[in-house]
Chain A
Amino acid sequence: MPFERNSKDKNEQRPKRSRRLGGKGLQRIVVLAGIFGVLTFGVLFLKLWQLQVVQHETLEAKAIAQQTREVSSSAHRGTIYDANGAILAISGSVQNVILSPRDIYAAAEVDTKDEFGNPRSEAVIEAEKKAYVQSTCNLIADNLSAILGVEREEILKKLDKTESAYQVIAKKVEDDVADQVRVFIDENNLEACIYMTDDAKRYYPYSTTASQVVGFVNSQNQGAYGLEALYENELSGEDGRTIIAKNAAGTEMGSAYSTFNDALDGYNIHTTIDANIQMLAEKTVEEGIQKFDVVNGAFCIVMDPKTCAVLAMVSSPDYDLNDYNTINDATLLAQLEKIKRTGTEEEYAKALSEAQFKQWSSKCLNTEYEPGSTFKPIVVAAGLEEGVIQESDTFGCVGYVDMDGWRIRCSARSGHGTQDLRKAVMNSCNPALIDIGQRLGAEKFYQYWENFGFTEPTGIELPGEVGSVFWPKAEFVSPAGIVSLATASFGQRFTVTPIQLITALSACINGGHLMEPYLVQSVTDTEGNVVSYHEPTEVRQVVSQETSDLVRSFMESVVSGRNGTGKNAYVPGYRIGGKTGSSQTLTRDPDTGRERIIVSFVGFAPADDPEVIVLLGYDWPWSATPESNSTASGVYISGGNMACPMAGELIANILDYLGHQKSSTTESSGVTIPRLVGMTHQEANAALAKLGLTCRTSGQGEFVTDQAPSPGSSVPKGSSIVLYLGTERAAETVPMPDLSGMTYQEAKEKLESVGLYLNATGTGETGKVFAQEVEPNTPVEVGTAVEVKFVDEVADDKDAIED
């Protein structure tokens, strides 16, 4: 080591330096200073740079995630009301029950020392803990499965996730059940292991009523369909958020770190729907589906024609809003059953979701259909407005029109002969309407098609509204469109939505104003202050007041006229106007070849100043045989025979509900029986003879002590009244006979043969039995006058187009 010698030499030469560190030592201290004073700090700085600058955001986000707890206070979802303030949808608070398996393990308290104070072995402690956890889990599973109705195995499976502190075992539990859970928690000191969080549940008090209009919320309380979906923002309000900084022990860090946002409750929606009218309409739809073997659902819209406020909107199949996944419709269920038996699981799942979609969507605006003859008033209105036809014009009809190689038939195969405009409408005469269409020309026709609002959705406040399907304008107005124009003139070969059609027809009868249909009258906040209010909105005036008046009067004649195609809608005491329709759809059942027909009727009342307009349609009444024109119960398939009487009755019921007095001109074919009790036999006999009735007597006495039928009943002329002289009417009952399909005379005789009386309504003597007040085989007291409705057989425009 030469260094040592050198340094030694130096020390000897310069002893004054000997006590201090040599030059090499100094260099080395500088090296140390470089390492420990500069290098290490440089490394540390780089590491800090990496953490505090490069990774700053990710690390900060992770830190904040563990430091904060967001407590949301849920806003109360707004209520949906009908026009009278009845509640269609309302939110209530419910509880979710949550398990924290982690805390069960943590709560296991085992002595770490034995009775002598000596520490026990880990294994013993662990085993004891395990036993405690096991018994606690069993206790929880047994009791909660009993209280909540959840499978015991499922609870145990969730309890197995010992790392988790959040296992939901029951959602949206009602208060009474939640109370039972609370008692169980208290009694067993399981506060740390089981807890409940607030949630909201949507209740629909009317369950199936207006289901497609109201819609429903999904499990996250977000609107999924209908008004619930479209008004999600208004209804949901804003959840309150409280962000609390917490320490690692889970308690609050101090208010300085907290932020609060109050919850804003949702607004209330006030619809124009009248639950009572809605239920009347739903009943009508349901009865019709039963009566006419309808297989593809039905729709019905009730509106105020002046404002186009929707009073009722029915689409069948419907569903229970409180249980929206379950299929209730018999037809859909039958189809599903069939697929369940024959198809694979995937097919069934697909069919199920299709069926659910079908019941959730509204036929009134989510699908379109061929309007058929119900479209004719619009063509007539356009013709009158343009002056191409006059009320006094006459139209000839030989039963068909040949056009461009097509033969278009009229419902009257032998032709209507010569008829004026009113008659043509009453007859629903296709050749006459084709004539009007040709006089209008395709350009004008298309212009009115546009003006009546058919080229775009109406904008009603429901999601998923579709538009019409019509020929492209260029094709329609070209010479090649002549057949299209002809078929369009009587409402075939194009499709519209029911809501579009009823809105346009409202314009035809309300003085020519095309209104924007609406469902939501107002939106209010929780204090009842009006946030927004819907004023009736006119889109445009389409036709003049005069044209509208004339069309309305034509349509009244359709119902009130002796041979009107809508005469089955006639209800005595009300002025009802309307138009029937039977639409061919070119769809056939793939198995049997039955043609799909949609029978419909649009009606309004009172005819001089309409307050309600109703569009009722049944999609595909099932014919008895593929070739048959009638259903299995013998009802001829047409709008005039099916939708028409049902709608007439519905309109009468709605007018009743709205408080309209029946006009006194009752033209019942029957006779009202006076009160005869207390009269002598002779007096009663004379009174009955004056009314054209005969009598039989029962018992031996001077005075009438009882009578059958009861006073006030209406019976046909010539009926025989039973007078009880000194005896009481025996409380004898007979089974009600089935009168369906019978003529007036047949029905009267059948009833009298069992001791009952006929009280005929509807078209009476000329018609066939349409409905009977008492179901067949129901016991009826002898001598009762049974109400039976008769309708005339009406063929409108079926099978209009042939090659």
Chain B
Amino acid sequence: MAKAFKKPLKSPIKPKEKKPGQTIQGEVDLPFLLLTVLLVVVGLVMLLSASYPSAIYDLKGNTQGDALYYFKRQAIFAVVGFMGMYIVSKLNYRGLQGLAMPILLVAFVLMLAVHVPGLGKTVGGATRWLTIPIQWQPSELGKMALIIYFASRLSKRDQRVPRRYNPRTSFGRFCNWLERIGFFELVPYGIVLVIMIAILYLQPHMSASIQMVVIAAAILFAGGISVGWFLAGGITVASLLVIIIATTDYMTSRVQMWQDPWSDALGKGMQAIQSMLAIGSGGVFGEGLGNSRQKFLYLPEAQNDFIFAVVCEELGLIGASLVLVLFALLIIRGYWLALHARDKFGSLVIVGVVTLFAFQVFANVAVVTNLFPVTGISLPFFSYGGTALCIQLAEMGLILSISRQNPIT
């Protein structure tokens, strides 16, 4: 694989070739950068507003009543994250193509390392965190590793020589048929994805698994895999979901609670109800920045998963829609950059990162508005969580890095 870098490139547009680790001199995509900065700043302001009641009341016993506790931490991480984003944007992303397999292996190891006593941390029955050097989720790295591996492998798809089997045996004919419909081509992706989900199942980490499936599907889709596979996969996943929901009590009650949260308003439906009360209270114009009442301990995790409910309550339909428009613009600009990337690898990496980002935004807002049942997906740039913010900004940095080598802009 590393061969690709050593060979001189034939591209007439960018004849000069950089080694991995070298910095790139081209311009980053300014609209994408500005949208990112804007969203992080708005996210910080909303985090300050949403987090200070729970910081004052010190629900988790960590804030000592400091109203700015969450804000200060998030702001520091934002600064660190911007610096990281800058550094990543300067690096030549194409170095990653050759490192796809090592990164994947490292990610697998780290995701399993959470089970090692002393390294991992368990919160609420889930072992998802490593405490070295600071507390973070290796599954975040896992997502990136998956994106890079899939993008890397798919970008070399046209170099792949189709396998041929003896057409005189029925097994050979069957294998040829499998090759023809692209089954063998998909096997490596399938294996990586299954390993990834198996590791996540051990943690367990349902929402990360879903994200893995979504980004894998998006990259494969953009990579040109036949639509039939997605139809088949979609139908399989959907029917599996129906079976799981129908057969496991836990999932059944969760879906019921999603459909009618008022049936247990003080118990399982509480989060969804409090969130809807906050959103509904906002109305069209909102109660004004800082004026949310639901954040006063009614809304669970107001600074975290449900921060968008505070946005809706304080800024109203207009403000919430503006925030969503900013997200949409960032995402569309991301896909636009994917369309204009200098190579397949860059395009597919952007598709993976942007789709992951878009899915997180959608899933979070859908949960907050009770469109989806409650799952623990935070809102990028808004929800409290320093390492997550840093990783997201690094991902943005990766996209910016790809945009530097964009042949048109």
Contacts and interface: CB of A to CB of B under 8 A. Distances in A.
Given A20-B343, A247-B296, A28 B224 contact: yes
B84 interface: no
Contacts of A248: 296-298
Contact of A51 (B182, B359, B369): B369
A174 interface: no
Nearest to A38: B328
Interface string B99-113: 000000000000000
Query: Which residue of A22, A33, A58, A249 has the most chain B CB atoms within 10 A of its CB atom?
Result: A33
Interface stretch (A4-12, A211-219, A402-410, A688-696): A4-12
Interface string B69-91: 00000000000000000000000
Given A26-B339, A37-B358, A32 B280 contact: no
B277 A45 contact: no
A290 B223 CA distance: 111
Interface stretch (B128-136, B329-337, B385-393): B329-337
A287 B233 CA distance: 102
B279 interface: yes
B281 A247 contact: no
Nearest to A40: B362
27 contacts: A19-B342, A20-B344, A28-B222, A29-B338, A33-B335, A33-B336, A36-B355, A36-B358, A36-B362, A41-B324, A44-B371, A45-B324, A47-B366, A48-B279, A48-B369, A52-B312, A56-B280, A59-B279, A60-B283, A63-B280, A63-B293, A67-B293, A67-B296, A245-B293, A248-B297, A253-B296, A257-B293
B297 A247 contact: yes
Q: A-side binding surface: helix, strand, loop or mixed? A: helix
Interface centre among B9, B224, B355 (most CB of A within 10 A): B224
A25 B222 contact: yes
Interface stretch (B115-123, B167-175, B314-322, B396-404): B314-322
A8 B224 CA distance: 13
A734 B214 CA distance: 117
Contacts of A18: 158
Nearest to A250: B297
Contacts of B182: 1
A37 B332 contact: yes
Nearest to A45: B321
A67 B281 CA distance: 11
Q: Which of B278, B280, B342 has the most CB of A within 10 A?
A: B280
B354 to A, nearest CB: 7
B189 interface: no
B282 A16 contact: no
A787 B336 CA distance: 121
Contacts of A334: none
A106 interface: no
B344 A21 contact: yes
B280 A44 contact: no
Contacts of A49: 317
B150 interface: no
A262 to B, nearest CB: 25
Contacts of A29: 222, 335, 338-339, 347, 351
Contact of A59 (B281, B327, B347, B361): B281
A55 B371 CA distance: 15
Interface residues of B, number: 64
B58 to A, nearest CB: 11
B344 A25 contact: yes
A418 interface: no
Interface in B268-314: 276-284, 293-294, 296-298, 312
Please list the 10 inter-chain residue pairs (A to B) with the smallest Cβ-Cβ separation, ordered nearest first. Answer: A59-B280, A33-B335, A36-B358, A248-B297, A247-B296, A37-B332, A63-B277, A19-B343, A40-B362, A52-B317
B160 to A, nearest CB: 9
B396 to A, nearest CB: 16
Interface in A207-251: 245-249
Interface in B152-199: 155, 158, 162, 180-182
A66 B265 CA distance: 12
B5 interface: no
Contacts of A341: none
Contacts of B224: 3, 7, 22, 24-25, 28
B359 A249 contact: no
Given A248-B298, A253-B296, 8 more contacts: A16-B10, A25-B224, A28-B222, A29-B339, A40-B361, A43-B366, A48-B317, A52-B283
Contacts of B50: none
A60 B280 contact: yes
A634 interface: no
A62 interface: yes
A21 B222 contact: yes
B355 A60 contact: no
Contacts of B341: 20-21
Given A52-B312, A55-B280, A59-B276, A47 B297 contact: no
B339 A30 contact: yes
Interface in A662-708: none
A44 B362 contact: yes
Contacts of A38: 328, 332
A139 to B, nearest CB: 28
Given A21-B222, A58-B280, A33 B10 contact: no
Nearest to B325: A41
Contact of B158 (A11, A245, A246): A11
Interface in A241-289: 245-249, 253, 257
B359 A36 contact: yes
A85 B218 CA distance: 90
B365 interface: yes
A62 B316 contact: no
Contacts of A66: 277, 298
B358 A253 contact: no
A464 interface: no
A28 B223 CA distance: 8
B11 interface: yes
A53 interface: yes
A626 interface: no
Contacts of B320: 48, 52
A659 to B, nearest CB: 69
Given A16-B10, A18-B158, A249 B57 contact: yes
B226 interface: yes
B53 interface: yes
A15 interface: yes
Contacts of B223: 25
Contacts of B296: 67, 245-248, 253
Nearest to A33: B335
A44 B342 contact: no
B12 A16 contact: yes
B272 to A, nearest CB: 11
A247 B324 CA distance: 29
Contacts of A247: 53, 57, 296-298
A245 B298 CA distance: 12
A44 B277 contact: no
A4 B347 contact: no
Contacts of B327: 41
Interface string B343-367: 1100110010011001101100110
Contact of A36 (B312, B331, B339, B344): B331
Nearest to A26: B339
Given A19-B344, A48-B369, A59 B277 contact: yes
Contacts of B222: 21, 25, 28-29, 32
Nearest to A10: B158
A246 B53 CA distance: 12
A16 B13 CA distance: 9
Contacts of A257: 293
Contacts of B226: 1
A52 B276 contact: no
A175 to B, nearest CB: 37
A40 B226 CA distance: 23
A246 B57 CA distance: 13
